Amino acid sequence: MKLTKKTHACVRLEKDGRSLVLDPGGFTEADAALGADAILVTHEHPDHFDEARLRAAMEAGPGTEIWTLKSVAEKLAPAFPGRVHTVGHGDTFTAAGFDVEVHGELHAVIHPDIPRITNVGYLVDGGTVFHPGDALTVPGRPVETLLLPVMAPWSKISEVIDYVREVRPQRAYDVHDALLTDLARPIYDRQIGQLGGSEHLRLAPGESAEV
């Protein structure tokens, strides 16, 4: 499977000539979802879900389908009947030839005064890749490649390190990193790499790796 990093929380997975894009939000490239056979969205925050971009991708690709939670699906389903699928924790499905399990129910706590919204993570091909969205969800089964939300208003580095320790992936690639400055990256790389207990890796937007 080929994994290509896009800006912030978005990645593209490619296998057997088909592609799956996760979380092409407003911080990522405008064309990130174009040409995808399937799109997964973890939650409704604009850095993960950009309605206009998803509509453009669906219109450009008549065979493109979306799997997501209710709050996102209800915005898109009326315009694309039969192509937008609502999923929740515990669901399994196949999208563009990828087997997907849904894990998690709530966004991480930003502040106690801010109501928590629904957030789901996606475990792809039996644990080859796991994208948790904006939560530190532990899927409860082995994970080869963890897409690690490395920096966010709702997290601190000790929580990120402990999350890697709990999931125990073979490797962790940074995502959710658009707010992380170049000055801070070496600190995060060193501390997560030394303390997380798993191989810690980073791809620049547009770079790819085989997983």
What per-residue confidence (pLDDT) applies to 144? 98
What per-residue confidence (pLDDT) applies to 205? 97
Phi, psi for 58 (deg, rounded to 5) = -70, -40
Q: Is residue 65 part of a domain?
A: yes
Q: Is residue 210 part of a domain?
A: no
Confidence of residue 206 (pLDDT cuts 50, 70, 90): very high
**Separation of alpha carbons 189 and 60, rounded Å:** 38
Q: Is residue 122 part of a domain?
A: yes
Closest CA to 176 of 160, 162, 187: 160
Q: Is residue 116 part of a domain?
A: yes
Q: Which pLDDT tens digit goes with each residue over 127-175?
A: 999 999 999 999 999 999 999 999 999 999 999 999 999 999 999 999 9
The DSSP code for 115 is P
Give residue 35's domain range: 2-202
Average pLDDT over residues 31-57: 97
Q: Is residue 131 part of a domain?
A: yes
Tokens of 86: 């609502």
Q: Which pLDDT tens digit goes with each residue over 49-70?
A: 999 999 999 999 999 999 999 9
The HSE-up count of residue 112 (CA atoms within 13 Å, CB side) is 0
Q: Is residue 208 part of a domain?
A: no
**Separation of alpha carbons 39 and 2, rounded Å:** 16
Q: Is residue 23 part of a domain?
A: yes
DSSP for 59-75? Answer: HH-TT-EEEE-HHHHHH
If one counts the domains in the chain, the total is 1
The HSE-up count of residue 132 (CA atoms within 13 Å, CB side) is 28
Looking up residue 128, the CATH number of its domain turns out to be 3.60.15.10
Q: Is residue 135 part of a domain?
A: yes
**Separation of alpha carbons 43 and 41, rounded Å:** 6
56: enclosing H helix or E strand: helix 51-60
Q: Which pLDDT tens digit goes with each residue over 83-133?
A: 999 999 999 999 999 999 999 999 999 999 999 999 999 999 999 999 999
Cβ neighbours of residue 197 closer than 8 Å, sequence gap 6 or more: 164, 165, 168
What per-residue confidence (pLDDT) applies to 85? 98
